């Protein structure tokens, strides 16, 4: 059955309630995107006009934040963070949600990632006044969302620098305009330095809010072990992987939803599957090469299926391997969280013969690397689990 089949089950989609990723930019970042060719179209005026208003809003509050907290930010020291790694749709969201149950750590939430320029000043009031703007569920997988829930810091880095693979939402498939921002190994040195400063600044602001080790999660960081260790040489890393068929099928769905809900130009998803395959190959190759630089005791790995089936045992193992604080503190919280997920409704997709062929041939190196079986076409895929 191909992905064009008429009888393919349709995944759940939810309204964004008007919130788009670009609402956290200042005028400066928005102009930067336009100068390098961001695609705008009149059919997206319902997003473009509110975005313009929000860029002005953020441009007003950002200097207020700098005036209030600039010196404190400069003086703040960041404790060694923990980075959750893994390609998109590999289970990073589930792992991040479980790790952040431990109140001995802190994490960036959705408000802080969208409004990274001024959250220290505005979050307490604005997050309450604007809670109605946030969808109750993520549009790509029906996972719960909200201003105060854990979020990936990639959005903060996009909105404060524009240097992120998420630039693709503005460029409709022009990989050359964002490909350097996966691992930054070939990026302009000034852009690389600006990105590092933005991440460090964000980490310092999170530390001011709550002085605890930060648990970051961004699939993009899976490409960036080198640059992350330059900033945080004592950082811990947790890598989660999943069968490549499930990852790719769900990523194709994710990309489509992200463009539909955030694009500022005409929607054009032609050839986007090939871009996904290339990014996935680069992700696995880069991680498997660069992880050798991580000192012993600072890296743990886990399969998504194992984590989903027995989260307590595998998180206890991860805590031990990384020498994290006593696991007994968080054990009951993990079990309670998983009990609360029993009613979660997963998207269902029919097995895709074309994608199965890609996985069994082109992605065979991933199957071999992680010990996964080839795809059998009679099996049904559950490709949109929390990731």
Using CA atoms in the order 18, 21, 76, 324, what is the torsion angle rounded to 10 degrees? 100
CA distance 277 to 255: 12
- The DSSP line for 82-147 is EEEE--TTSSHHHHHHHHTT-TTSB--BHHHHHTTTTHHHHHHHHHHHTGGGS-SB-TTT--B--T
Beta-carbon count within 10 A of 297 CB = 10
Which pair of tokens denotes residue 185?
């190994």
3-state class percentages of the chain: helix first, strand second, coil last, to nearest 5? 55, 10, 35
Give the gyration radius of the chain's Cα atoms.
20
* pLDDT at 6 (0 to 100): 33
Distance of CA 231 to the CA centre of its chain: 19
Q: What is the 3-state secondary structure (H, E, C) of 196-235?
A: HHHHHHHHHHHHHHCCCCEEEECHHHHHCHHHHHHHCCCC
Would you say 26 and 59 are in contact if contact means Cβ atoms under 8 Å apart? yes
Averages of pLDDT over runs of 10 residues in the chain (387 residues) are: 37 56 96 87 91 97 98 98 98 96 97 97 90 64 74 97 91 78 96 98 98 98 98 99 97 87 80 90 98 98 96 98 97 90 62 92 98 80 48
* pLDDT at 382 (0 to 100): 46
* pLDDT at 387 (0 to 100): 57
- Tell me the CATH number of domain 21-384, given options 3.10.129.10, 3.40.50.150, 3.40.50.2020, 3.40.50.300: 3.40.50.300
Indicate the pairing of strand 381-384 with strand 347-349: antiparallel
Which pair of tokens denotes residue 277?
């395959």
* pLDDT at 251 (0 to 100): 94
């Amino acid at each position: 059955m191909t992905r064009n089949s008429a009888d393919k089950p349709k995944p759940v989609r939810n309204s964004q309630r008007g919130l788009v990723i670009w609402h956290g930019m200042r005028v400066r970042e928005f102009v930067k995107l336009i100068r390098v060719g961001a695609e705008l179209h009149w059919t997206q005026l319902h997003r473009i006009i509110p975005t313009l208003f929000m860029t002005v809003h953020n441009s007003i509050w950002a200097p207020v934040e700098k005036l209030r907290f600039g010196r404190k930010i400069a003086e703040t020291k960041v404790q060694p963070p923990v980075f959750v790694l893994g390609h998109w749709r590999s289970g990073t969201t589930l792992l991040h949600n479980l790790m952040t149950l431990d109140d001995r750590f802190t994490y960036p939430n959705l408000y802080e990632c969208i409004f990274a320029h001024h959250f220290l000043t505005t979050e307490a009031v604005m997050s309450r006044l604007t809670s109605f703007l946030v969808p109750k569920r993520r549009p790509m997988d029906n996972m719960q969302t909200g201003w105060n829930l854990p979020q990936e810091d990639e959005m903060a880095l996009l909105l404060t620098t524009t240097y992120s693979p998420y630039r693709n939402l503005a460029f409709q498939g022009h990989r050359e305009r964002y490909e350097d921002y996966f691992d930054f190994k070939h990026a302009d040195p000034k852009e690389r330095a600006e990105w590092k400063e933005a991440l460090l600044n964000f980490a310092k602001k999170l530390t001011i809010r709550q002085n605890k080790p930060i648990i970051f999660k961004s699939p993009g960081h899976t490409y960036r072990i080198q640059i992350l260790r330059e900033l945080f040489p004592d950082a811990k890393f947790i890598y989660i992987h999943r069968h490549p068929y499930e990852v790719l099928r769900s990523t194709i769905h994710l990309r489509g939803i992200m463009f539909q809900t955030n694009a500022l130009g005409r929607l054009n998803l032609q050839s986007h599957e090939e871009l996904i395959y290339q990014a996935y190959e680069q992700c696995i190759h880069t991680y498997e090469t660069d992880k050798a630089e991580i000192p012993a005791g600072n890296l743990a790995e886990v399969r998504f299926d194992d984590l989903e089936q027995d989260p307590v045992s595998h998180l206890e193992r991860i805590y031990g391997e990384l020498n994290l604080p006593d696991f007994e503190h968080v054990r009951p919280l993990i079990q309670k969280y998983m009990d609360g997920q029993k009613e979660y409704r997963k998207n269902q997709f029919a097995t895709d013969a074309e994608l199965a062929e890609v996985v069994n041939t082109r992605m065979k190196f991933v199957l071999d690397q992680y010990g996964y079986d080839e795809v059998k076409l009679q099996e049904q895929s559950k490709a949109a689990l929390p990731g």
